[in-house]
Amino acid sequence: MARRVPLFLKRRSYRRRRLRDAARLLPVFGAFFFLLPVLWSPGESPAPDTASDGLYLFVVWFLLILAAAALAPGLDGGADDDGTEP
């Protein structure tokens, strides 16, 4: 019995699925921003930039946590795991 997945979803289910996509993307963005210092740091910078680098990392970190906290409540509690609900 093949499960029928309707072509279009209700607005709420649609939003929930996009929320999951966002949750999957979040670590990818995080990884990019955490690895970004690799690109600029090895270059011979004239002034020591450890403090500003640290500040940058903590700001990214903080924003990621905020984003995860914003996404989390919408993610759990969804009964349908793969979005079968029309």
Partner 1 sequence: MPFNILVLTCVTYVALLFLVAFVAERRAGIGRARWLRSPAVYTLSLSVYCTAWTFYGAVGYAARSGLEFLTIYLGPTLVFIGWWWVLRKLVRIGRKQRVTSIADLISSRFGKSNLLGVIVTLLSVVAMTPYIALQLQSVTQSFGVFASGTPEGWALPNRDATAIWVAAGLALFSILFGTRKLDAKEQHHGVVTAIAVEAVVKLVALLAVGGFVVWGLADGPSDIFRRITESPISDWELQPDRWFGLMFVSAAAVISLPRMFHVMVVEGGDESHLGRASWAFPAYLMLMSLFIVPIAVVGLERMPSSANPDMFVLTLPLQEGQGALAMLAFLGGFSSATSMVIVEAIALATMVSNHVVMPVWLRLRPDVAMTGDVRGVVLMARRVSIIAILALGYGYYRMSGGSTALASIGLIAFVGAAQVLPAMLGGIFWRGASRFGAGLGLLMGLIVWAYTLFLPSFGDDGVIPAHVFALGPFGIGWLRPQALFGVSGMDPLVHAIVWSMVLNASAFALGSIFSFPGPVERMQGAAFVNVFDEDQTGPQGWARGKAEPETLLMMAGRILGEEPALGFFEAEARRQGKAGFLPDATPEFVELLERRLAGSVGAATAHAMISQIVGRAAVTVEELMAVANETAQIMEYSARLEAQQDELTRTARQLREANEKLTQLSIQKDAFLSQISHELRTPMTSIRAFSEILTEGDLPPGMVAQYGRIIHDEAIRLTRLLDDLLDLSVLENGTVQLNLGLANIQTLLDKALAAAGSTKPERVFTIIRDLPSENLFVRTDADRLLQVFINLISNARKYCDSDSPELKITVRQRAGRVSVDFIDNGKGIPKESQAIIFEKFARLSDQSRAGGAGLGLAICREVMANLGGSVSYLPGQGGAAFRATLPLRLDRKLA
Q: How many chain residues touch partner 1 (CB under 8 A)?
A: 41
Q: Which of 9, 13, 17, 23 binds partner 1 (CB under 8 A)?
A: 23
Cα distance between residue 36 and residue 57, in whole Å: 10
Q: In angstroms, rounded to a whole number, what is the distance separating the alpha carbons of residues 66 and 40?
A: 26
Is residue 68 within 8 Å of 26, Cβ to Cβ?
yes
Longest dimension (CA), the chain: 67
* Binding of partner 1 by 4 (CB under 8 A): no
Binding site for partner 1 (CB under 8 A): 1-2, 20, 23-24, 26-28, 30-31, 34-35, 37-38, 41-42, 47-51, 53-55, 57-58, 61-62, 64-69, 72-73, 75-77, 81-82
